Amino acid sequence: MYGKFQQYLQTELDSITEAGLFKGERIINSPQEAEITLTTGQKVLNFCMNNYLGLSNNQELIDAAKNALDTRGFGMSSVRFICGTQDLHKELEKKVAEFFGTEDTILYAAAFDANGGVFEPLFSEEDAIISDSLNHASIIDGVRLCKAQRYRYENADMASLEEQLIKAQDQRFRIIVTDGVFSMDGNTAPMDEINKLAKKYDALIMVDECHSAGVVGKTGRGVTEQFNIRGEVDIITGTLGKAFGGAIGGFTTGKKEIIEMLRQRSRPYLFSNSIPPMVANAGIKMFDMMSQTTALQDKLHANTDYFVKKMINAGFDIKPTKSAICAVMLYDAKLSQDFATKLLAEGIYVIGFYYPVVAKGQARIRVQLSAAHETKHLDHAITAFTKIGKELGVLK
């Protein structure tokens, strides 16, 4: 059998390559931080990591992880409800809830699982899920696993959301679902307006804070802080794999009955392993750090402002951003790839995105800022962008 199947796969892989969509992987042999080393020996500045607060190689988190390795062992070998819950898991859940101003939290192996396991236990045929068109793949998959009626509104478009809410009025329960920050444009969901519409049309709200938690809002509490609706959102999902240390792990936090129901019925929670003690302990340490100072958020916000301002002054077309994601618009797919290749030669590691990851004719380079970046790193990037921009005729 495999012969025929292999042939089929090879043809598919070839067509992916021919379409220019083959995803190669660059191999890093240093820790994840501002300056990384590739296996080619090249040292580059990393502007495409989700390491927004620079915690991926933070010594205090490493120490907390080591400490848990010594005192609580390596792994749990169990799902949570059998024998996979340590005091550390409960403590981390409490810290997440404190951070977001919610009632309770449930941990998952990843945010992909949190989103995959949140809808099916809570909603059925009689209910409506009203989802932003640019929501993350894990939300789309989670919605697919649920029998609720599906409604879709245009990205962050409140007229479109209202239309869908009107259509869904006959359903038993309605939930509006949105990413906090959209990862390609760096825009935020207008949570204040979403909240108003939710009240007007009697809907619940769920927000995925993966790209916004730790980043957005004055103290990094995410979009509910930015839009001053802390405590008003019913469900928040998020990851420990981006700003919060970058290791692994996801969570759903919100109203206590919702979290309790997820503990009873959410399949990725019931049938998948517990996060390792070292990750839980590093997470606890991380939230303690977050509650003591906003130094990292302050630095990240300053870095983002600095970079965006200088890039606009240099003449680049930058999408208005409300996060640490800065989309440098180039519009042409090939140009975005050539630009990124040339930047790598200048020691700047970024990725060019084009259709189907973004809309046709909307190719861009996505720059992700971090508190790990120093001004000299930002200046190096701006200089390289300007040089290549002139070389490729993007700048005059």
Quick one: which of 226, 276, 221, 281 has its CA closest to 97?
Answer: 221
| Choice between 240 and 384, CB closer to ligand PLP | 240
**3-state secondary structure (DSSP) of residue 366:** strand
How far apart are CB 384 and ligand PLP at their closest, in Å? Answer: 26
| Choice between 112 and 354, CB closer to ligand PLP | 112
Written as one string, the DSSP assignment of 171-234 is: SS-EEEEEESB-TTT--B--HHHHHHHHHHTT-EEEEE-TTTTTTSSTTS--HHHHTT-TT--S
How far apart are CB 132 and ligand PLP at their closest, in Å? Answer: 11
| Choice between 104 and 132, CB closer to ligand PLP | 132
How far apart are CB 50 and ligand PLP at their closest, in Å? Answer: 7
131 is catalytic: no
Beta-strand pair 204-208/325-331 = unpaired
Q: How far apart are CA 147 and CA 128, in angstroms?
A: 9
> Catalytic pick from 89, 95, 136, 211?
211
Q: How far apart are CA 42 and CA 36, in angstroms?
A: 8
CB atoms within 10 A of CB 291: 12
| Choice between 211 and 373, CB closer to ligand PLP | 211
How far apart are CB 377 and ligand PLP at their closest, in Å? Answer: 23
Q: How far apart are CA 127 and CA 135, in angstroms?
A: 19
User: Starting from the edge strand earliest in sequence, which strands make up the sheet with 351-353, in order?
Assistant: 325-331, 363-368, 351-353
Q: How far apart are CA 81 and CA 201, in angstroms?
A: 37
| Choice between 242 and 364, CB closer to ligand PLP | 242
Beta-strand pair 43-46/104-108 = unpaired
The amino acid present at 333, given as its one-letter code, is A
> Catalytic pick from 131, 183, 323, 370?
183
Phi, psi of 194 (to 5 degrees): -60, -40
Beta-strand pair 363-368/351-353 = antiparallel
Contact present, 44 and 347 (Cβ < 8 Å): yes
Q: Which residues bind ligand PLP (CB under 6 A)?
A: 110-112, 115, 136, 138, 179, 183, 208, 210-211, 239, 241, 250
Q: How far apart are CA 346 and CA 300, in angstroms?
A: 23
266 is catalytic: no
How far apart are CB 26 and ligand PLP at their closest, in Å? Answer: 19
| Choice between 138 and 368, CB closer to ligand PLP | 138
How far apart are CB 103 and ligand PLP at their closest, in Å? Answer: 22
Q: Is the peptide bond before 356 cis (omega within 30 degrees of 0)?
A: yes
| Choice between 113 and 127, CB closer to ligand PLP | 113
Contact present, 237 and 115 (Cβ < 8 Å): yes
How far apart are CB 107 and ligand PLP at their closest, in Å? Answer: 11
**3-state secondary structure (DSSP) of residue 141:** helix
Q: How far apart are CA 207 and CA 31, in angstroms?
A: 31
| Choice between 68 and 215, CB closer to ligand PLP | 215
How far apart are CB 116 and ligand PLP at their closest, in Å? Answer: 9
242 is catalytic: yes
Quick one: which of 33, 31, 54 has its CA closest to 220?
Answer: 54
- What token pair was written down for 30? 């240093």
> Catalytic pick from 242, 299, 301, 373?
242
Question: Which residues are known catalytic residues?
Answer: 183, 211, 242
